Structure 1
Amino acid sequence: MTRFDAATPAERRKLFAEAIAAHRERGSPFATFEADADASALATGDGSDGSEAETGASDRDDAEADDPEELPPWIQFGDGVLNLDCTESELDDLKSVLGEFPAFKIDDITRPEEAEGVNVRVSALADPNRVAQCVDRVFREVYGQHESFRAWVAAV
């Protein structure tokens, strides 16, 4: 891989697919994708491109939006599985997105006692391009990222 970020839908999908291919070629444990930290602040519904009304994403907790320590959304891919954390309302949005990707299904939902939210493992037995499409949709429709958010490949 020669680049590690992208900010348009087509470029992000290409970036995600290249990272998945690199992950498979290297035999690494996983590839990690993150939304840019600055983009996450825009996704809280301030009426700009990242507003819930425009993206269809659910409202985030007011406490989360005001938390300066909040980490940007991330998704990991490894061994044909997507791994991500989300809130209960984001889980509903995730199920909706996955309904449009028949090759993807939720394998496991973990609700740790020591943390808010859930960890979700999704079977993603598809080619890198289809996985990349799903990852981009999850960032946009589950995590409420605006159309031109910057995504990073944080690990391959």
Structure 2
Amino acid sequence: MTRFDADDPRERRKLFAEAIAAHRTRASSFVTLEADAEDDDAPRPWLQFGDNTFNVDVTDAELDDLKTLVGEFPEFRVEQLESPETAEGTNARITARSDPNRLATFADRVFLDVYDRPETYRAWVAEV
């Protein structure tokens, strides 16, 4: 990989696919993708992919959107939902056995449809 961020939809998906392929080639534990925050004080939304599983933290409203999105990807399924009493949301684990391009499309859609980022949001590969 030679670049680590993108804000064009096609370039973001290409970036995500390259990061997932690099993660698989290196046999790293996971790859972390992040997107712009809504404002400077808000945390950046993120997701991780490793061992054929996406890991994502969501609010209750975002969880509904995530479940809807997963329904559009028949080869994916929600494997585990955890909502600790001390947390303000849910950690979701989604099994996703597919090629890097399909995984990248899903990741981009998480940021767009679940985290409600604009079409031109900037994303980063934070860790491979």
What is the TM-score of this pair, normalised by structure 2?
Answer: 0.97
Is 2:43 aligned against 1:71?
yes
| Count of residue correspondences | 128
Distance in 2 between residues matched to 1:33 and 1:141, nearest whole Å: 15
Instruction: Return the offset for 1:79.
Output: 0.7
RMSD of aligned Cα (Å): 1.1
Q: Which runs of 4+ in 1 moved over 3 A?
A: none
Distance in 1 between residues matched to 2:74 and 2:35, nearest whole Å: 25
Distance in 1 between residues matched to 2:26 and 2:18, nearest whole Å: 12
Instruction: Return the offset for 1:113.
Output: 1.3
**For structure 2, which runs of at least 5 residues remain unmatched after alignment?**
none
- 1:27 corresponds to: 27
Is 2:1 aligned against 1:15?
no
Instruction: Return the offset for 1:28.
Output: 0.6
Is 2:88 aligned against 1:116?
yes
- Percent identical: 59
What is the TM-score of this pair, normalised by structure 1?
Answer: 0.80
- 2:114 corresponds to: 142
Distance in 2 between residues matched to 1:86 and 1:125, nearest whole Å: 21
Deviations 1:76-115, CA, capped at 9 Å, x for gaps: 0001000000001100000111111101100000001111
Deviations 1:33-56, CA, capped at 9 Å, x for gaps: 00023xx23xxxxxxxxxxxxxxx
Is 2:58 aligned against 1:86?
yes
Instruction: Return the offset for 1:121.
Output: 0.2
Distance in 2 between residues matched to 1:126 and 1:27, nearest whole Å: 16
Distance in 2 between residues matched to 1:114 and 1:125, nearest whole Å: 31
Larger Rg: 1
Q: Which structure is higher in strand share?
A: 2
SS at match of 1:76: strand
- 1:57 corresponds to: none
1:98 to 54, 60, 70: 70
